[in-house]
Amino acid sequence: MRIPRSSARLRILLITYCMAMGLCACGSASDSLPVDASVTGTYDDQSSADPASADTDTSSPETASPDTENTSPAGPLRDATPVCLVPQADGTAVVSNDVAVIDYSHMSDGYVCANYTGTCPKVKLRITGPDTVVYTYDLHGGGYETFPLSSGDGYYDVTIYENISGTNYATCLYADLDVQIPDEFSPFLYPNQYVNFTSDSKVVAKGQELAEGASSDLEVITRIYDYITGNITYDYDKASDPPTGYTSDVDAILDSGTGICLDYAAVMASMLRSQRIPTRLEVGYAQDAYHAWISVYTADTGWLNGIIEFDGNVWTLVDPTFGANTDNKTLKKFIGDGSNYILQKMY
């Protein structure tokens, strides 16, 4: 029997967050450091790329109890209480010197923390995991920042570099880590530099508001997606010249109602992670445009990647953010079968 449209059109639209006309503006150059930089030497930072530039219940309506307070036509209501995991730099496992610390006390939870207290104005942190993908971040100082170990189990090289002149950097501190992460979802539930939220964040409160009364993770994803795409508009001016090393201030984006692809992805990822839904902020290419989007995990579906709509019977490809500005023929050509999206990094 076909599920009623009112309860089954759960659009799991996992998002290519740039408007069709603005995708090419999501790219800039600041993220990658040369892979061959020695941990005891220097590197030249002339070439780089930046992400900124870029329990379903099976009860039928007939079996649901109409006089039970915590039920809906789709089944028992889901607990919408936020759970905001808090990264810790406990100091139980560290490497350090006079100006920097790498704290890997919780590497088994899928993250490391780093802090720089020196005077160099330009400092980078680079993480290379077992898949050899290189992640490069700006290290701002003034307190610990959190960085995900996105590549799963294996050996990681974590290095802090100080700028010495121009685009040349020298090694300040490094750690070689043998990482085992018992819970594969941990890196995608904790906040980090790119998905940065706390229990006091406005996005967490809004996520809870949107999740109230939902009966499944799929419904929560749908509600949050619909809210974001209906209330945040694309910022073409920012996309034309994003700041070097840009990361999203998710509450500011929620307040302003405008942002670029990385902002859309970071806001939605923050809401979903605080609702205990593992979410990856992903960066790569949509055709030839540097771009950011998300993938989410539910127990019933596994990882949902790309752009997906579920109408109760069939999964189809759709993207209303593109669709609002693109005719159907062009939209279908752009989206294709999902292979137009090339993943490079996950945060």
Convert the pLDDT of each residue in 97-114 to its tens digit. 999 999 999 999 999 999
**Is residue 45 a contact partner of residue 33, using CB atoms and an 8 Å limit?**
yes
Where does residue 38 rank: exposed (0-12), middle (13-18), buried (19+ CB within 10 A)?
Answer: exposed
Average pLDDT over residues 61-76: 48
SS3 238: helix
Asked, colleague to colleague, whether 5-28+192-346 and 94-182 share their fold, the answer is no
CA 343 to chain centroid: 12
Would you state the pLDDT for residue 314? 44
SS3 158: strand
Phi, psi of 285 (to 5 degrees): -125, 135
User: For 105, which DSSP code?
Assistant: T
Average pLDDT over residues 294-305: 86
pLDDT at 157 over 80: yes
Strands 233-234 and 258-259: parallel
Domain extent listing, the chain: 5-28+192-346, 94-182
Q: In 180-334, at which residue ranges do the beta strands (DSSP E only) sit?
A: 233-234, 258-259, 279-286, 289-298, 302-304, 309-310, 315-316
For the domain made up of 94-182, the CATH class stated in words is: mainly beta
- The tokens describing 83, both together, are 């759970």
Average pLDDT over residues 60-72: 40
| pTM assigned to the model | 0.79
**Is residue 175 a contact partner of residue 114, using CB atoms and an 8 Å limit?**
no
Question: Among 9, 12, 4, which Cα is nearest to 217's?
Answer: 12
Structure confidence by residue, pLDDT tens digits, 162-219 = 999 999 999 999 999 999 999 999 999 999 999 999 999 999 999 999 999 999 998 9
- What is the per-residue burial (b if ≥16 Cβ within 10 Å, else e) of 177-208? bebebeeebbbbbbbbbbbbbeeebbbbbbbb
Q: Does domain 5-28+192-346 have CATH number 3.10.620?
A: yes
Average pLDDT, the chain: 78
Please tell me the distance from the alpha carbon of residue 106 to that of residue 89, in angstroms, as a whole number: 8
Please tell me the distance from the alpha carbon of residue 149 to that of residue 138, in angstroms, as a whole number: 16
